Structure 1
Amino acid sequence: MSSSPKLLAVDLDGTLLDAHGNPHPRDAEALRALVEQGTHVSIVTGRLYSGTRASVLSLGLSGPIGCVDGSHLVSAATHTTLMHHAIQGDHAQMLRAIFARTSPATFVFARDAIVYDETGDPFLGYVATWSSDVQKSTRIVEHAVWAEREGLTAVVAIGSAEQISTAASSIQEELRDIAQVAMFPIRRILGSWGLIVRAVGGNKGSALEWIAEHHGIPLSDTVCIGDWLNDVPMFEKAGRSFAMGQAPDEVKAAATDILHETSEDGGGVARVVEEVFGVRV
């Protein structure tokens, strides 16, 4: 990495934000100071832009922001789409049919909102952190959102291990070249599994690459901070990467540096801003 890093990309949940979705004050202050000195700062998150916008405004950001793990890039200055990887048309209908027959609680991410039905009520506190616009419908698999002209940014499903495994296998078989799917145990909801499906072509690494190119910055001059498996593609692209203290071992193994600070108490972002960029708050 060069001696003059020029771009910092920060994850939100588990990194800048605490368990309640609030930014750690010292970390936010450090990022604002970095922006004021002219360094490019971006957010690269799993959230929709509607769930990211408050942080964008609070930090005074103006450049591209990576949302939904790199599936949606948005201008912080104009709040408009710069790039969108979406599942559309017949492929969206194939996805709808898979969730109709496997019957997990299903949350559809489209039009910068999340649409769900009553089967998702027990999990709403978990999923709603991704967006400030959450809309309840009568029956999600019959909702018109599956035919949305701009397509689906993502679909999240939560259920038993069997439901989620069956749905993931069907997606991989029927939409192999169209969709990417990841399944995972949900730490906050004992015994539940989740999956997220998005269009191929986007991840946090591709988002960082896009943002760096937009600013005319080589990837070797970029720094990123994250805490979870979806941050690994970003770690693999950045010149220097920092894993939060509570990150799983496989995430720490992918980073160039490991912070001892955790999202519970904060301070990890401020440490990076001070040690790497020389800005103290």
Structure 2
Amino acid sequence: MPRLLATDLDGTLVFRHGADRDDARALATWRAGGDLLALATGRSVGLVRRAVDAVTASTGVTLGYDYVVCASGTTVLDGAGRVLRTRALEPGQVAAVAELVMGRGDTALFASTLDRDLVLHDPTGFGDDPRVYADHFSAATLAVALEASVVALPVYVPDPDLADALAARIEAELGLAAPRSTNFIDVVAPGESKAVGLRRLIEHLSGRGTPVSETIALGDSWNDLPLFEACDRSFAMAHAPRQVRQGATDVAASVAQALEGLGGRPTAPPTR
């Protein structure tokens, strides 16, 4: 039976400059040895594609993968991009989050669907930064978002104290899930998380007659903690916050270092 590795993207595999070649090669070798790779991220479907392209462009190693658990677990795709499972927010829930956030000058509100990413409110200018794929986002009104099938509402909050308070308020007052990562709250339907998405994926694999022998998670932020708990083994990146490191079974300086101790058949990874 194959093992299943679920790796976070931002802050774990993907950084401002792209990715490290050793990390990309380690993931390619993992798959070449017959094990499965899932990208587990708060990113939307479209932004996962951008991240994969950035890894390949910066390392020269093709980042292949078998599955994607994205939009903070609400959406599961196979390697060909087919949707295996997704769950959207209700229009009233989108409106309630917008009412809470859109009057503020210190946060930005985005809306993610399966095929596009919308900017609803951005006094911070975050969405205009070319380093965050400024060409990817489309400005839209709340009315447009209410007519769309929104799977996640990413809220950009650069102040960590405000992020803690706002996430708690969203969960307590609106009854929605609000997993936190660095500078972001990803508001999703109640009960959703990367861990829930991974469990759905494992159920899908078992239903197809492909059970996995072991699950391993890699991550660096608070929204990875449920993923760590759902897996047999977990690696927090060494730069992760203390709470995240304490929630993992292991700590590693990089993806490549984490995979060193997991073994597997060494096979040359594909390059472009």
Give TM class, smaller chain. Answer: 0.7 to 0.9
Percent identity over paired residues:
27
CA distance in 1, matches of 2:178, 2:129: 19
Between stretches 50-59 and 204-213, larger displacement belongs to 50-59
Deviation string 1:197-244 (CA, Å, 9 cap, x unpaired) is: 111132111122222232336676111111111111111011111111
TM-score (norm. length: structure 1): 0.76
**Aligned residue number for residue 91 of structure 1:** 93
In structure 1, what is the equivalent of residue 7 of structure 2?
A: 10
SS at match of 1:124: helix
Counterpart of 1:93 in 2: which secondary structure?
helix
Paired amino acid for 1:252: R
Q: Which of 133, 136, 147 is 2:136 aligned to?
A: 133
Structure 1 residues 82 and 246: alpha-carbon distance in aligned structure 2, compared to 1, 3 A threshold: same
Kindly indicate whether the alpha-carbon contact (under 8 Å) linking 2:112 and 2:118 is maintained by their aligned counterparts in 1.
yes
Q: How does 1:42-57 map to 2 (within 5 A)?
A: 42-54=38-50, 55=52
Instruction: State yes or no: 1:225 paired with 2:222.
Output: no
Q: CA deviation at 1:52?
A: 1.3
My pick for the range that moved more, 196-205 or 213-222, is 213-222
Q: CA deviation at 1:154?
A: 2.2
Between 108-117 and 212-221, the greater mean CA deviation after superposition: 212-221
- Label 1:144 to 1:275 Cα distance change in 2 as closer, same or farther (>3 A): same
Q: Return the match for 1:60 from 51, 58, 64.
A: 64
What secondary structure is seen at the aligned counterpart in 1 of 2:255?
A: helix
Match of 2:32 in 1: 36
Unmatched runs of 5 consecutive residues or more in structure 1: 187-193, 262-267
In structure 2, the residue matched to 1:146 is: 146
Cα deviations by residue, 1:98-131 (Å, 9 ceiling, x for unpaired): 3344464322222442212573452126797489
In 1: Cα distance, 2:229 partner to 2:256 partner? 22
What SS is found at the alignment partner of 1:42? strand
Letter aligned with residue 146 of structure 2: W
Q: Are residues 32 and 100 of structure 1, via their aligned partners in 2, closer, same or farther at CA, if it must alter by over 3 Å? A: closer
Give the aligned length: 255
Counterpart mapping for 1:235-254 below 5 A: 235-254=228-247
**Does the alignment pair 1:24 with 2:20?**
yes
Q: Distance in 2 between matches of 1:127 and 1:83?
A: 31
RMSD: 3.2
Contact 1:184–1:195 under 8 Å retained in 2: yes
C-alpha separation in 2, matches of 1:230 and 1:44: 10
TM-score normalized with structure 2 length = 0.79
Partner of 2:197: 207
Equivalent in the alignment of 2:174: 175
2:92, 2:180 → 1: CA distance?
A: 23
Please tell me the residue identity of whatever aligns with 2:202: A
The aligned amino acid for 1:272 is: A
Partner of 1:264: none
Does 2:253 match 1:257? Answer: no
